[in-house]
């Protein structure tokens, strides 16, 4: 999969996804537009999400410590809840009163993935987009969980299935809102009145740069919305389910939470109040110094990620595979499911166990423990490797560290029992949510 894109190309696969899954209308004109635009459309995304300094700056703008302090609001009134709490079936066990810390029950998967989305989406498309579209998160997960996997395996969009019908309706609403967003982006960029007087001041540079490319190549606003729906999906569909699993493993693994809190403490400073607040978070230091934290993320990838690289053979090539040789001919497709080795005991000992220490190695130069990916390939391989991997990892580091520092999370049943998993669209899904009890950490 590391061969040149002139030999093993991802473009036919990307176009199929664009039209089959994300709602693009297949035509020779659209295919030509995508071919002539793709490189220039990807560049603005890479500048934010692959560049280390830019990704760090974006996360720092998200005000993670303040948002994490409101992970739950201890309110049963939707009017007073945070956006990410609305889908989590919050139940207040004890209200939060002076001298009497509150307790709530919640569904951990729903709470965590919507929390992550509410942090990430405004960093790319601005706060107005998320605020103007109250159903965005529900529609997004309905599309991701219900429609995406069915279309990927070839179920026709007209299939008389409830999941398909509801998923298509959710996709249609998302596409309509993405189209409207790009009309506003274009208006703001041209200096004309913006629909609804929408505040576009916190939209990142990437959509504006992409809009210039769309305009240059003659993309309609509907096509622009479809093009960026794929970006919206890529930004949110895998990272936030991983954050859920990361927290589930960290809080359910004996002694691991205490080890992580000790490691994180020098880089996430807390107030001295009985219920602490984060007074500062050094994200570059977290990424550099907290190797156990990173190892926990790597181990979560190993347990739940399902990356697959698919390539179209554009030129004949011979692949040496030990004693075997594989002759790949033009027009063939090659698929590499990278997760197959993740449960292979000859690669990862006791693969059924969550053991982050397996990714820690002594660095020969510094003598310090360092988290290494080793043979893990959570982002795919080659030139079409995930474009958001740097941002995604930093997002999980920051959100995970903030929640770990501020919140105690325990199973509502009294005993941690992680649910079975089913295939997802890149990350495994639990067969059911995890009901948890959440309280503020006390020092």
Q: What is the pLDDT of residues 18-55, one digit of tens each?
A: 999 999 999 999 999 999 999 999 999 999 888 889 99
The answer to whether residue 59 scores a pLDDT higher than 80 is: yes
Q: 298 pLDDT exceeds 80?
A: yes
**123-163 pLDDT tens trace:** 999 999 999 999 999 999 999 999 999 998 889 999 999 99
Range list of H helices, 265-376:
283-289, 291-304
Distance between CA 144 and CA 163 in Å, rounded?
Answer: 11
Helix (H) or strand (E) holding 308: strand 308-313
Query: How many Å separate Cα 84 from the centre of its chain?
Result: 15
Superfamily grouping for domain 8-440: Cytochrome P450 (1.10.630.10)
- Residue 156, classified by CB atoms within 10 Å of its CB into exposed (0-12), middle (13-18) or buried (19+), is exposed
Tell me which DSSP letter residue 429 carries.
E
pLDDT tens-place string over residues 68-90 = 999 999 999 999 999 999 999 99
**Is 60 exceeded by the pLDDT of residue 2?**
no
Vertex 146 angle, CA 142 and 151, to 5°: 125
CB 41 within 8 A of CB 210: yes
Span 237-248, pLDDT tens digits = 999 999 999 999
In the chain, what is the straight-line distance between the N-terminal and C-terminal CA atoms, in Å? 50
Q: Is residue 264 a contact partner of residue 293, using CB atoms and an 8 Å limit? A: yes
Burial of residue 23 (number of CB atoms within 10 Å: 0-12, 13-18, 19+): buried
CB-based contact 377:401 (threshold 8 Å): no
- Helix or strand or coil: residue 24? coil
What are the φ and ψ backbone dihedral angles of 200, each rounded to 5 degrees? -105, 10
The predicted model gives 302-327 an average pLDDT of 84
Q: How far are the Cα atoms of 36, 324, 384, 399 from residue 331, in angstroms, in the given order?
A: 21, 21, 19, 43
Where do runs of H (alpha helix) occur along 197-290?
Answer: 205-217, 221-236, 239-252, 256-264, 283-289
What value does the CA radius of gyration of the chain take, rounded to a whole number of Å? 22
Spatial separation of the C-alpha atoms in residues 308 and 335, rounded to whole Å: 7
pLDDT in tens, 92-119: 999 988 878 899 999 999 999 999 999 9
- Give the orientation angle of helix 28-49 with respect to helix 11-20, to 10 degrees: 100
Contact 350, 363 (CB under 8 A): no
Question: Are the beta carbons of 62 and 72 closer than 8 angstroms?
Answer: no
Q: Minimal CA–CA distance to 113: which of 133, 87, 92, 139?
A: 87
pLDDT given for residue 213 in this prediction: 97
Model confidence at 3, pLDDT cuts 50, 70, 90, reads: low
C-alpha span between 339 and 357 (Å, rounded): 19
Q: Are 117 and 242 in contact (CB under 8 A)?
A: no
- Bridge-based pairing of strands 308-313 and 421-422 is unpaired
Q: Would you give the DSSP letter of residue 438?
A: E
Q: Which of 389, 371, 393 is nearest to 380 (CA)?
A: 389
Asked whether residue 384 carries a pLDDT value surpassing 70, the answer given is no
Q: Does 405 belong to an annotated binding site?
A: no
Distance from C-alpha of 105 to C-alpha of 410, rounded to nearest angstrom: 10
Q: What is the mean pLDDT of residues 381-399?
A: 82
């Amino acid at each position: 999969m590391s061969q040149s894109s002139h030999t093993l190309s991802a473009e036919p696969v990307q176009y199929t996804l664009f039209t089959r899954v994300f709602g693009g209308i297949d035509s020779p004109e659209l295919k030509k537009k995508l071919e002539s635009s793709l490189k220039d459309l990807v560049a603005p995304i890479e500048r934010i999400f692959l560049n280390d300094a830019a990704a760090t700056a974006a996360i720092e703008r998200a005000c993670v410590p303040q948002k994490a302090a409101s992970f739950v609001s201890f309110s049963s009134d939707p009017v007073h809840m945070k956006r990410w709490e609305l889908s989590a079936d919050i139940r207040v066990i004890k209200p939060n009163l002076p001298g009497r810390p509150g307790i709530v029950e919640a569904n951990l998967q729903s709470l965590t993935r919507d929390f992550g989305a509410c942090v990430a989406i405004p960093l790319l498309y601005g706060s107005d987009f998320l605020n103007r579209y109250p159903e965005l998160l529900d529609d997004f997960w309905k599309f991701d969980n219900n429609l995406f996997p069915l279309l990927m395996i070839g179920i026709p969009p007209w299939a008389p299935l409830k999941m398909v019908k509801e998923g298509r309706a959710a996709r249609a609403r998302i596409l309509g809102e993405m189209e409207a967003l790009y009309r506003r982006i274009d208006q703001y960029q041209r200096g004309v009145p913006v629909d609804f007087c929408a505040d576009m001041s916190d939209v990142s540079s990437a959509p504006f740069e992409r809009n210039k490319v769309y305009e240059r190549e003659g993309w309609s606003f509907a096509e622009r919305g479809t093009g960026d729906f794929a970006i919206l999906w890529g930004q949110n569909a895998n990272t936030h389910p991983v954050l859920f699993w990361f927290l589930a493993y960290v809080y359910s693994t004996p002694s691991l939470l205490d080890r992580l809190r000790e490691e994180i403490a020098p880089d996430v400073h807390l107030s001295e109040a009985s219920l602490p607040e984060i007074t500062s978070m050094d994200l570059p230091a977290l990424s550099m110094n907290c190797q156990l934290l990173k190892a926990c993320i790597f181990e979560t990838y190993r347990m739940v990620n399902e990356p697959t690289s698919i390539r179209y053979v554009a030129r004949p090539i011979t692949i040496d595979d030990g004693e075997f040789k594989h002759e790949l001919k033009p027009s063939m497709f090659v698929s590499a499911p990278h997760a197959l080795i993740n449960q292979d005991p000859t690669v990862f000992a006791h693969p059924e166990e969550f053991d982050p220490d397996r990714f820690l190695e002594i660095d020969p130069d510094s003598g310090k423990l360092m988290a290494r990916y080793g043979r893990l390939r959570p982002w795919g391989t080659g030139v079409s490797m995930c474009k958001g991997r740097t941002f995604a990892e930093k997002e999980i580091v920051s959100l995970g560290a903030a929640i770990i520092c501020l919140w105690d999370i325990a199973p509502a049943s009294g005993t941690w029992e992680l649910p079975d998993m089913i295939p997802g669209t890149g990350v495994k899904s639990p067969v059911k949510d995890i009901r948890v009890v959440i309280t503020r950490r006390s020092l």
